[in-house]
Structure 1
Amino acid sequence: MDYDEPRALRLLVMMPALNEAATLAGVIARIPKSFEGIAEIRVLVVDDGSTDDTVAIARAAGARVISHGRNLGVGIALQTGLAEALRLGVDVAVNIDSDGQFAPEDIAKIIVPVVEGQADFVTASRFLDPALVPEMPGVKKLGNWGMARIISGLIGQRFEDVSCGFRCYGREALLRLVLLGRFTYTQESFLVLSQKGLRMQEMPMKVRGVREFGKSRIASNLFNYAWRTLGIIFGFIRDYSPALLFNNLTGALALSSLGFGGFFVWHRLTSGAFTPHIWAGFVAAFLFGLAILVFSLGQVAQMIARLRSVQEQQLYLVRRYLPRLGDPPPPGAPHAD
């Protein structure tokens, strides 16, 4: 059997939810019952420790529910949804918030590039089309702009919105995506998929700028959001591109050492004495030793990153073929009696 033979596409709509009883039923009811190119549609609500009627409402609306039992974070909620998408063997997965900020009818638009084989990952964008920019506080717009510039610079592809929670993942993206962040997943997804060389697109979409009920649990405190998101970005650089971190730090330390050392030698040659700036020689020696240490740590980090790359390739192969190991072997293939 050809593992890559064409077959009817299956779609999973993933909806992380935390106390969304006020909006959840309406969002599920608005999900279209059919899409061009899709043979099967499933709806999954990942309950991240709700204390209201979210779970009961989701089940009554016809969605399958996976409950964490306690609040683990939206990053973990998405990882749960992605794991279920892999278990079900779906070809396309859409992540959409349960609070009604995104129009479920737009799922029909966001899946098109993936269904037609033009992209592996598509994200909705609130800022790509100036006519569709939603109403939101200026500080949030500035924060979104700054985060988009950081991520775009790291991955080498320009995006206007890297924090939107309405996204579509193709089969290859589902197989390749390995996320670790608990707090959020939005920026980390771009970094990981770019590192894997997958095709990513941005699609302008009309989005409600503020929640109809309650407030955002992710971006309600902008300082905390920025701090924790930058921590996720730093962790990605450390794990996947340690040379970017360690080599730059080594260079900075070496240049500082050279500066202090040059001053120390200049003072000795012009004054004929080491004092009173003998301290510069000690500082130069310390910084040079520290540069060597950081460079050595960087080499170890690069070796670990290579091992990680090999392990993720093995994980990809397991994800890709293991769910279908029960398929009958092709004619002539050796098999056990």
Structure 2
Amino acid sequence: MPMRSNKKIAVVIPCYRVSRHIKEVILSIPAFVDHILVVDDACPEYSGAIADEIGEQRVRVIFHEKNKGVGGAVISGFLKAVELGCDIVIKMDGDGQMDANQIPILILPLLAEQADYTKGNRFHDFTALKSMPKIRLLGNSVLSFVVKATSGYWNLMDPTNGFCAISYPALCELKLDKIDKGYFFETDMLIHLNLINKVVMDVPIAAIYGNEISNLRIRNVLFSFAIKAWKGLLKRIFYKYYIYDFNMASIYFLIAIPLLVFGLAFGGYRWNMGILENSENNAGTIMLAALPIILGIQFLLQAINIDISSIPKKSADSYRSDHIMSFANKKRSEKSFSS
């Protein structure tokens, strides 16, 4: 799709064990992109050298002497894009799972200044969704809910998607040195964007699944991801509701947590004592444990409701979403017709 604007655009590609795909990925990037920033994260397959040998004038390769993780590689690319004065920076993976022809759709809200950060949404196109492995689909659904709650962007359907774009002002406001350098990077980006009140939008994007090899080992990162997600959630709630602002959600959280802790602790203690003493707890004791739990859940639900309604947004949000959906569907139809 022809596209040209007065905006300088860069694509950042973190590379680690993607030597089989990196050339194809680079050559697929549209001509309107000004810079292609390839970050060789100490790749044992020398993906950066392969990218450098292509001869594409837009390519700049950044070499890491030591592996910094996917987040560290992307941040290196972001810093270089800021140095080059790029107005929009897109992050793509080097494994060929992302269709570069959909970049115009991804950056449209940024060009129109209707969002600060966009993420691809693989769950909008049901036909393309059927190509996603079932186990990955289930895992992504569960993980997406965790990321929604952790980041505060409850409006995102596919928050774990790595195909994303960010505007120069939002990128400059982020404290990149504070963002996680590993596989928690995508989620931590959303947490930090929420704290600086940036608008994040879903854009319908179809994923591509082929013979790529994932470097992510679920068993190795599952526990650490859960710990980081919990810490990220606490951090966001603390800063958003007790440092940057104080509202009814702040009060509801203050009431809900002690009630839940007391109800669960007291109830667990009395239940254990009943087993040890082979006795039954009377109705009053049961209510003393149950009532704080019930009230705590109610207050917690009220706090979550306020959190959902406080998602950063700009004016004409409904029009914006419809416009993006319409544009995406139109381009997808054109592509199907041309093929």
TM range (shorter): 0.5 to 0.7
Aligned to 2:47: 54
**Structure 1 residues 256 and 54, CA gap change in structure 2 (3 angstroms):** closer
Query: Is 1:98 matched up with 2:71?
Result: no
Rg bigger for which structure? Answer: 1
The aligned runs of 1:127-206 (5 Å cut-off) are 127-154=123-150, 155-178=152-175, 179-184=178-183, 185-206=185-206
Quick check: 2:179–2:189 contact (8 Å CA) kept in 1? no
Quick check: 1:183–1:228 contact (8 Å CA) kept in 2? no
Q: Which secondary structure does the structure 2 equivalent of 1:44 belong to?
A: strand
Q: Which secondary structure does the structure 2 equivalent of 1:16 belong to?
A: strand
Measure the CA separation in 1 of the matches of 2:135 and 2:264: 37
Q: Which secondary structure does the structure 1 equivalent of 2:8 belong to?
A: strand
Equivalent of 2:85 in 75, 85, 89: 89
- Alpha-carbon shift at residue 99 of structure 1 (Å): 1.1
Q: Which secondary structure does the structure 2 equivalent of 1:9 belong to?
A: coil
Measure the CA separation in 1 of the matches of 2:268 and 2:201: 48
- Alpha-carbon shift at residue 59 of structure 1 (Å): 1.3
The aligned runs of 1:6-85 (5 Å cut-off) are 8-34=6-32, 41-61=34-54, 62=56, 63-85=59-81
**Structure 1 residues 260 and 19, CA gap change in structure 2 (3 angstroms):** closer
Q: Which moved more, 1:236-245 or 1:122-131?
A: 236-245
**Structure 1 residues 148 and 257, CA gap change in structure 2 (3 angstroms):** closer
Give me the TM-score of the superposition, normalised by structure 1. 0.67
Quick check: 1:121–1:199 contact (8 Å CA) kept in 2? yes
**Structure 1 residues 145 and 262, CA gap change in structure 2 (3 angstroms):** closer
Measure the CA separation in 2 of the matches of 1:65 and 1:202: 29
Quick check: 2:125–2:206 contact (8 Å CA) kept in 1? no
Describe the superposition over 1:271-323 as per-residue Cα deviations: whole angstroms up to 9, x where unpaired.
xxxxx89xxxxxxxxxxxxxxxxxxxxxxxxxxxxxxxxxxxxxxxxxxxxxx
- Alpha-carbon shift at residue 14 of structure 1 (Å): 0.2
Measure the CA separation in 2 of the matches of 1:260 and 1:56: 60
* Structure with a larger share of its residues in helix: 2
Q: Can you give the 5+ residue segments of structure 2 that lack an aligned partner in the other structure?
A: 243-249, 279-339
Aligned to 2:209: 209
Measure the CA separation in 2 of the matches of 1:174 and 1:234: 25
Quick check: 1:132–1:204 contact (8 Å CA) kept in 2? no
Amino acid at match of 1:235: K
Q: Which moved more, 1:137-146 or 1:151-160?
A: 151-160
The percentage of aligned residue pairs carrying the same residue is: 23
- Alpha-carbon shift at residue 136 of structure 1 (Å): 3.2
- Alpha-carbon shift at residue 135 of structure 1 (Å): 2.3
Question: Matched residue pairs, number?
Answer: 254
Quick check: 1:120–1:200 contact (8 Å CA) kept in 2? yes
- Alpha-carbon shift at residue 259 of structure 1 (Å): 5.4
Describe the superposition over 1:113-144 as per-residue Cα deviations: whole angstroms up to 9, x where unpaired.
10111111111111122222152332221111
- Alpha-carbon shift at residue 246 of structure 1 (Å): 8.6
Q: Which secondary structure does the structure 2 equivalent of 1:172 belong to?
A: helix
Amino acid at match of 2:170: A
Measure the CA separation in 1 of the matches of 2:40 and 2:268: 57
**Structure 1 residues 260 and 92, CA gap change in structure 2 (3 angstroms):** closer
Measure the CA separation in 2 of the matches of 1:256 and 1:109: 49
Quick check: 2:148–2:154 contact (8 Å CA) kept in 1? yes
Measure the CA separation in 1 of the matches of 2:261 and 2:208: 47
- Alpha-carbon shift at residue 182 of structure 1 (Å): 2.4
Aligned to 2:288: none
- Alpha-carbon shift at residue 262 of structure 1 (Å): 9.1
Amino acid at match of 2:225: T
**Structure 1 residues 23 and 259, CA gap change in structure 2 (3 angstroms):** closer
* RMSD (CA atoms): 3.1
